[in-house]
């Protein structure tokens, strides 16, 4: 099949491209490189089934190569997903969720293609329900600092459902929980790369608040498997994709210390505004309709992720960071455990 993927040079997008190309599909990859980087997909550029176009999907999709062949699947991953990025660029974040989503939906409607939106667990905000199920409407501050990201995704979900109901577009919505793995930017503000970055530099591990807030971590190959299974289903309403194994931030900090050494100190800082106190997906729906659940244990996925960043740091003298620029170092393809 032929896929059009926005945000294809990003962390999750590039792993999705790898999987699709490996399976023999054709991929047209779109990314404006505001947070993604071409190095993530450099190894695919010589493949005849892969085409990359530097493009902002918030602009009209006047791309001649799109209409040369049928489009079967449209995946909208373009978004500024990390706190560092969306807090620095709130307008662009809102645009990718609104105008960008509309443009990609129109592309799917034009080609009668199935559309998949990658939404987020942030739609639940600082939840009053735990674990979070898809029927929970959330506890989101619509005018807080994080609202540019939270509300962009909530609007994108509403727009996707409007196209489904109005035009009969075949749509899927994935609510993605914390995902980690190679190709993340080490300074993007999320806890896995933040702790790994600090540990590689021998710096103190920054824990916000007392560290009792919880997260659950899903390895990227498991997440990609979930996205592909969802895209082949007829489920139009949101589906949680994440790991239900929950741990506190302090527990995760000690996991990192166990890997790098107990000499690493922990530094506590004030909890950011609207930071969720708990985060754990109820994946009963994904198990039931997709026969999906994560299979890569944290110690295995974390080992691969840390080794990746150690290798990149050794080769280049500095680990990859989110720089809002395209002048990134080309990276090798990553071997990941199978999620099947």
Confidence band for 67, pLDDT divided at 50, 70 and 90: confident
Share of the chain above pLDDT 90, in %: 79
Contacting residues for 112 by C-beta, under 8 A, at least 6 apart: none
SS in 3 state form for the chain? CEEEEECCCCHHHHHHHHHHHHCCCEEEEEECCCCCCHHHCHHHCCCCCEEEEECCCCCCCCCHHHHHCCCCEEEECCCCCCHHHHHHCHHHHHHHHCHHHHHHHHHHHHHCCEEEEEEEHHHHECCCCCCECCCCCCECCCCCCCHHHHHHHHHHHHHHHHHHHHHCCCEEEEEECCEECCCCCCCCCCHHHHHHHHHHCCCCEEEECCCCCEEECEEHHHHHHHHHHHHCCCCCCCEEECCCCEEEHHHHHHHHHHHHCCCCCEEEECCCCCCCCCCCECCHHHHHHHCCCCCCCHHHHHHHHHHHHHHHHHHHCCCCCCCCCCCCCCCCCCCCCCCC
**Domain locations along the chain:** 2-316
**Burial tier of 189 (Cβ tally within 10 Å: 0-12, 13-18, 19+):** middle
What pLDDT score was predicted for residue 334? Answer: 46
What pLDDT score was predicted for residue 219? Answer: 98
Q: What is the mean pLDDT of residues 315-321?
A: 57
Catalytic residue from among 3, 149, 219, 308: 149
- Asked about 149 being catalytic, the answer comes back as yes
Confidence band for 318, pLDDT divided at 50, 70 and 90: low
What pLDDT score was predicted for residue 327? Answer: 30
Tokens of 316: 């280049």
Confidence band for 65, pLDDT divided at 50, 70 and 90: confident
Confidence band for 64, pLDDT divided at 50, 70 and 90: confident
Strand bridging mode 214-216 / 246-248: antiparallel
Helices 249-260 and 191-200: crossing angle in degrees, nearest 10, is 30
Is pLDDT above 70 for 191?
yes
- Average the pLDDT over each of 66-75, 88-97, 290-299 and give the range with the smallest value: 66-75
- Average the pLDDT over each of 9-18, 218-227, 249-258, 274-283 and give the range with the smallest value: 274-283
Is pLDDT above 50 for 133?
yes
Is pLDDT above 50 for 103?
yes
Pick the CATH number of 2-316 from 3.30.1490.20, 3.40.50.720, 3.40.190.80, 3.40.47.10: 3.40.50.720
Q: What is the mean pLDDT of residues 249-262?
A: 92
Confidence band for 316, pLDDT divided at 50, 70 and 90: low
Is pLDDT above 90 for 170?
yes
The answer to whether residues 218 and 242 touch, using CB atoms and an 8 Å cutoff, is: yes
Is pLDDT above 60 for 213?
yes
Measured CA to CA, the distance from residue 186 to residue 309 in angstroms comes to 9
Q: What is the mean pLDDT of residues 249-253?
A: 94
Mean pLDDT of the chain: 90
Confidence band for 320, pLDDT divided at 50, 70 and 90: low
Is pLDDT above 60 for 80?
yes
Cα radius of gyration rounded to whole Å, the chain:
19
Share of the chain above pLDDT 70, in %: 92
Tokens of 140: 């989101």
């Amino acid at each position: 099949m032929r896929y059009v993927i926005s945000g294809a040079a990003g962390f999750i997008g590039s792993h999705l491209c790898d999987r699709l190309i490996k399976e023999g599909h054709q991929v047209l990859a779109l990314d404006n490189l505001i947070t993604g980087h071409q190095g993530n997909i450099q190894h695919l550029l010589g493949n005849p089934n892969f085409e990359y176009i530097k493009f902002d999907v918030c602009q009209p999709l006047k791309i001649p190569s799109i209409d040369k062949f049928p489009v079967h699947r449209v995946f909208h991953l373009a978004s500024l997903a990390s706190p560092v990025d969306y807090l620095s660029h709130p307008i662009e974040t809102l645009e990718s969720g609104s105008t960008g989503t509309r443009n990609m939906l129109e592309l799917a409607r034009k080609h009668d293609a199935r559309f998949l939106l990658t939404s987020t667990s942030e739609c639940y905000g600082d939840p009053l329900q735990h674990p979070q199920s898809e029927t929970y409407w959330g506890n989101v501050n619509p005018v807080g600092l994080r609202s540019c990201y939270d509300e962009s995704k909530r609007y994108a979900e509403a727009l996707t459902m409007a196209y489904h109901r109005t035009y009969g577009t075949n749509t899927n919505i994935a609510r993605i929980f914390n995902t980690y793995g190679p190709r993340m930017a080490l300074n993007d503000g999320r806890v896995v790369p933040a702790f790994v970055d600090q540990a590689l530099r021998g710096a103190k591990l920054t824990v916000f608040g007392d560290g009792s807030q919880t997260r659950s971590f899903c390895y990227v190959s498991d997440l990609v498997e979930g996205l592909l299974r969802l895209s082949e289903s007829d489920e139009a309403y949101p589906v949680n994709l994440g790991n239900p194994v929950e741990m506190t931030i302090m527990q995760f900090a000690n996991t990192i210390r166990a890997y790098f050494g107990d000499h690493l100190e922990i530094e506590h800082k004030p909890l950011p505004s609207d930071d969720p106190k708990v985060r754990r997906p109820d994946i009963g729906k994904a198990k039931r309709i997709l026969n999906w659940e994560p299979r890569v244990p944290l110690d295995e996925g974390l080992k691969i992720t840390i080794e990746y960043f150690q290798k990149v740091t050794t080769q280049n003298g500095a680990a990859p960071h989110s720089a809002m620029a395209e002048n990134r170092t080309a990276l090798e393809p990553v071997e990941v455990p199978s999620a099947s």
